[in-house]
């Protein structure tokens, strides 16, 4: 058996068939596992069987069916390994974006002061963090999550970018024309094999990213990605980026 990975990174499969000791995925899921992920017996995964989640081991792989042994039931953890680096922008719209991000399963939100964050918002962001945490707590309850996301204290963007991260880091850039978010996520999924890749998504303020910020992202290994040719509001880009990422990770 492969070394035990942390539950957070193991890919999760919703079983089509199961009993108390085994489970199976069939059809397109099995084909994806076998062909795209080149899944092998011995790999570990989380398997969801009717509301429960199990740490499981692959015992047989074909393009028609993948069978698992259910090893141990684990805590259902609906958060996705997604961290949202969110530039501070107009508070009412930003608070709405935080609530939607929680519903969409984000694990952490790191508010950052970007160069074009309006000055008065930057000055009061620290005090607003408690309100953002309350909004996140209520949204986590309303969306029936069994956990609530971490809302970090607001810091300057440069400080956040210096923080060590082991995730695939994608900066949503309205000027980007070649790499789409989907392409970058496809690459991350292929590279992560049967595990679920951790993803960080950065969203700029109403004024967009400043040129020196784009250079800073690049210098810190972030990939600029596009959500298409239209210019979205920060809150729209937040929902779109999280929805695309969640759909591709789940």
Provide the binding-site residues for ligand SAH, judged by CB under 6 A.
Answer: 172-174, 203-204, 206-209, 226-228, 230-232, 234, 237
Neighbouring residues of 159: CB distance < 8 A, sequence distance ≥ 6: none
Residue (27 or 228) nearer to ligand SAH, CB: 228
Least distance (Å) between residue 133 CB and ligand SAH: 23
Distance CA 131, CA 24 (A): 44
Least distance (Å) between residue 98 CB and ligand SAH: 15
Least distance (Å) between residue 97 CB and ligand SAH: 10
Least distance (Å) between residue 222 CB and ligand SAH: 12
Residue (27 or 211) nearer to ligand SAH, CB: 211
Rounded to 5 degrees, φ, ψ at 188 are -65, -40
CB-based contact 250:80 (threshold 8 Å): yes
Residue (76 or 232) nearer to ligand SAH, CB: 232
Residue (68 or 209) nearer to ligand SAH, CB: 209
143 token code pair: 């969306």
Residue nearest to ligand SAH (CB): 204
Helices (H), the chain: 27-31, 91-103, 119-142, 157-162, 181-192, 211-219, 234-249
């Amino acid at each position: 058996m492969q070394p035990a990975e942390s539950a957070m990174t193991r890919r999760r499969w919703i079983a089509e068939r199961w009993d108390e000791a085994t489970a199976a995925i069939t059809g397109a899921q099995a084909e994806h596992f076998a062909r795209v992920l080149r899944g092998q017996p011995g790999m570990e995964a989380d398997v969801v069987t009717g509301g429960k989640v199990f740490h499981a081991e692959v015992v047989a792989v074909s393009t028609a069916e993948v069978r698992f042994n259910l090893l141990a039931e684990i805590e259902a953890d609906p958060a996705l390994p997604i961290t949202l680096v969110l530039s501070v922008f107009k508070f009412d719209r930003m608070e709405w974006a935080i609530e939607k991000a929680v519903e969409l399963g984000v694990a952490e939100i790191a508010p950052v002061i970007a160069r074009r964050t309006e000055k008065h918002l930057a000055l009061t962001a620290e005090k607003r963090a408690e309100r953002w945490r309350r909004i996140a707590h209520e949204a986590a309850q309303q969306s029936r999550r069994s956990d609530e996301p971490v809302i970090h204290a607001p810091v300057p963007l440069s400080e956040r970018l210096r923080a060590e991260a082991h995730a695939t880091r994608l900066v949503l850039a309205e000027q980007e024309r070649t790499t789409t978010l989907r392409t970058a996520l496809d690459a991350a999924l292929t590279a992560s094999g049967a595990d679920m890749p951790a993803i960080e998504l950065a969203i700029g303020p109403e004024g967009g990213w400043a040129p020196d910020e784009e250079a800073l992202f690049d210098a810190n290994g972030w990939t600029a990605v596009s959500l298409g040719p239209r210019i979205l509001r920060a809150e729209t880009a937040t929902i779109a980026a999280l929805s695309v990422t969640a759909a591709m990770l789940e």
